[in-house]
Amino acid sequence: MNERYWDQDIETLSVAKLDELKLEKFKRLIEVAYEHSAFYRAAFIKAGLSPSEFNRLEDIEKIPLSYPHDLLSNPEDFQTNNSKIILVTCSGGTYRKPKKIYRTSQDILYSVEATARMFYTCGVRSSDSFAILQSFGIWGIALLALEACEKIGCKSLPIGVHMDDEEVLELLKEEKVTVIYAVPSNAVRLTEHAIRKYDLQKDFSVRRILVAGEKLSKTQKENLESLWGARVFNIYGSEETDGLGVECEEHSGIHFCYDQFVAEVLDPLTNRRKSLGEAGILAITPLNHFGTILIRYVLGDVVRFIPSRCACGRTAPFIEILGREEESLTLMNGTKLVRYQIEQFLLNYFEKIPSFQVMHQRHTDRDHLDFLIVERDKDDKIGERLGEDIRNMSLDLYSAIQQGLVEVHVKLVDLNALTRTERGKVPAFVEKGGLENG
């Protein structure tokens, strides 16, 4: 560790040398997956593969892709049967069947180390006062942040997402918080509340705002930086993999955590690997997690990789996140709804998935959701059942409704009631107004 780098040897090592280190980790991962993961052992046997066939990183393409619905349906099959599991986290998933991730003590050590390195890359130091405005639920992201702060040696405030905005602002002021870590929409909401009463640059000490969990628009970023007089840093990751990339203080792009993952950018139609610089769907293989093993796991993000020429000296390529293949909506408290999740729920009531749309409006203290479902016969009984049952579509959504953070209504409508894009498409999620969601 020095003034610029958390781990200079790794962060400045050439990509070719990093690939050599990754190859050894990759071989071990394949052996463990074959011997101890029911899902991957079955996949290897079906494809006629054995661990001895994997001698290059490029050999990963022999392995079939895996998807979120595989993990959602059979999370235990991804768990290794020789590991001591000490933590289970959940992310989304349908009610009674959350998408579970199993972690060993070594997995957690790696995740904390990686999170500390990302924070350090953003300029967080032991002299900082760090406010964690991420959910401390079963997702795990806030707990990693808390332990990463301890590793860096900075003071942390584990505030979470349920405290009243005014109370949060008082804490930020009293404790002279220098770093805020939040979901972008929560950072925007808190800022809009704060400017009604405070001069943010005069009354607070915030110098860095780290955002993760959803897309931050360029306008939102500029507004946050202008109002707080702080620098905003994007952290990219997923619930299944933890952090995947981070902006450094040069703000030239998001540095991919190259030494920790094997990443593939694939053509969504052919699943063939795209060339460097071309956009495609991201498939990811974490090299340091052995509680739940994921190999060629398709996240659904549309990305491209760009060789790094950053003045910071880090050699890892930049990853540019262009969008998502699968539409999703993240609510104020961190609850995430995805198209696939809603479609699977609706199959409980219809022979085939009906056209639907979720109209979303963000208020200062809650999210309002109107589920518009196209149903020709307008069966009131189905409408009533959906209205009651949709609250149980996911554990996260049910909890948010119980806490008064989300209001949900179901409406049976004609097809022409759905909002369409200029190209005639019907997006799954539509913003009705209120605070900007990026």
Number of Cβ atoms within 10 Å of the Cβ of 70? 19
Looking at the DSSP bridge assignments, the partners of residue 369 are 360, 408
Task: Enter the CATH code of domain 328-434.
Answer: 3.30.300.30
Structure tokens at 369: 């959701």
pTM for this entry:
0.76
| Residue (of 283, 284, 285, 280) closest to 269 by Cα position | 280
Query: What dihedral angle (degrees, nearest 10) is formed by the CA atoms of 332, 333, 336, 342?
Result: -90
For residue 133, what pLDDT is reported? 94
pLDDT interval class at 413 (50, 70, 90): confident
pLDDT digit string, tens, across residues 415-433: 668 886 543 456 788 888 6
pLDDT interval class at 50 (50, 70, 90): very high
Lowest mean pLDDT among 76-90, 119-133, 381-395: 381-395
Beta 179-182 vs 155-158: how paired, if at all? unpaired
Lowest mean pLDDT among 76-80, 197-201, 351-355, 362-366: 351-355
Structure tokens at 10: 């790794």
Q: Which residue in the block uniquely carries the two structure tokens 């998408």? A: 99
For residue 377, what pLDDT is reported? 67
State the DSSP string of 290-318: -SB--SSEEEEEEEEEE----TT---SPE
CATH architecture of 1-325: 3-Layer(aba) Sandwich (3.40)
pLDDT interval class at 94 (50, 70, 90): very low
Which of the pair, 276 or 418, is modelled with greater confidence?
276
| Residue (of 66, 10, 68, 12) closest to 42 by Cα position | 66
For residue 224, what pLDDT is reported? 94
Structure tokens at 313: 């000296």
Q: Assess contact for 233 and 247: CB atoms under 8 A.
A: yes
Cβ-Cβ contacts under 8 Å for 3 (sequence gap 6 or more): none
85, containing H or E segment: strand 85-94
Domain boundaries, the chain: 1-325, 328-434
pLDDT digit string, tens, across residues 139-160: 688 999 999 999 999 999 999 9
Reduced to 3 states, what is the DSSP secondary structure of residue 154?
Answer: coil
pLDDT digit string, tens, across residues 205-258: 999 999 998 777 777 899 899 999 999 999 999 889 999 999 999 999 999 999
Identical fold for domains 1-325 and 328-434, yes or no, is: no
pLDDT digit string, tens, across residues 39-49: 999 999 999 99
For residue 425, what pLDDT is reported? 52
Using CB atoms within 10 Å of the CB of residue 97, give its burial: 0 to 12 exposed, 13 to 18 middle, 19+ buried: middle
